Copies of this chain bind each other. A is one copy, B any other.
Amino acid sequence: MKEQITQQSIQLFEEKGFSQTSIQDIVDALHVTKGTFYYYFSSKEQLLMDIHLQYIDHLLMRQQQILDNESLSHREKVTEIILMLIKDIKDKGSSGRVFFREIRHLNNKNIDKIKKKRNQFRLNIEDVVRSGMVAGEFKEDLRPDMVAFGILGVTNYSYNWYKPDGEVTPDELATIFSNLVLTGISVD
């Protein structure tokens, strides 16, 4: 039931926004009572924090697996991280959109906690870029911090427009974006 409440809430938060969704809306949609909600969550804010934590912890864990895979070059690590984020839009698109949009409804302590994890995800990309420069795979005059923001821009913005069931598959889009980031659009 906890998972059902979470999934239903993600859907409602995405459609109506966090502020506009009441606990009553959530329990009505599931045909349960408020008592059921409060058995699992102390408040709507705690539920939102749960959604944020689940989302970012899962991403960090999978990113770490990519980083730890010593058989991958730096280019491949960048490609795999992009692929992971684009593929996620199908299953976790709603969570992602709630994650990006509703963070300001957490209390300050929780915002700090989430931002720290979010920054970690970005700093890990920055590290891959930096190591790739040292390894001679990437250009030596890059700013790894800004490049990491650029890569996250390409992937995160996709949560706003990309339809995974459309003409371009997640694998295709990830390839297009990896090529964009790795080699650009200009003819040499």
Residues of A whose CB lies within 8 Å of any CB of B are 17, 19-20, 75, 78, 101, 104, 129, 132, 136-139, 142-143, 146-147, 149-150, 152-158, 161-162, 168, 173, 176-177, 179-188
Q: A69 to nearest B CB, angstroms?
A: 19
| CB within 8 Å for A147 and B185 given contacts A19-B20, A153-B154 | yes
User: Which residues of the partner chain B approach A188 to less than 8 Å between Cβ atoms?
Assistant: 188
Mostly helix, strand, loop or mixed at chain A's interface?
Answer: helix
Cα distance A180–B187 when bound, in Å? Answer: 13
Q: Decide: B180 and A150 in contact? CB cutoff 8 A.
A: yes
User: Which residues of the partner chain B approach A104 to less than 8 Å between Cβ atoms?
Assistant: 17
**Identical copies of this chain, number:** 2
Name the residue on B nearest A162 (C-beta): B149
Q: A126 to nearest B CB, angstroms?
A: 12
Q: A152 to nearest B CB, angstroms?
A: 6
Q: Decide: A136 and B185 in contact? CB cutoff 8 A.
A: no
Cα distance A132–B146 when bound, in Å? Answer: 26
15 contacts between A and B (CB under 8 A): A75-B186, A101-B101, A132-B185, A138-B187, A139-B186, A142-B185, A146-B176, A147-B176, A147-B180, A147-B185, A153-B158, A179-B184, A182-B184, A183-B183, A183-B186
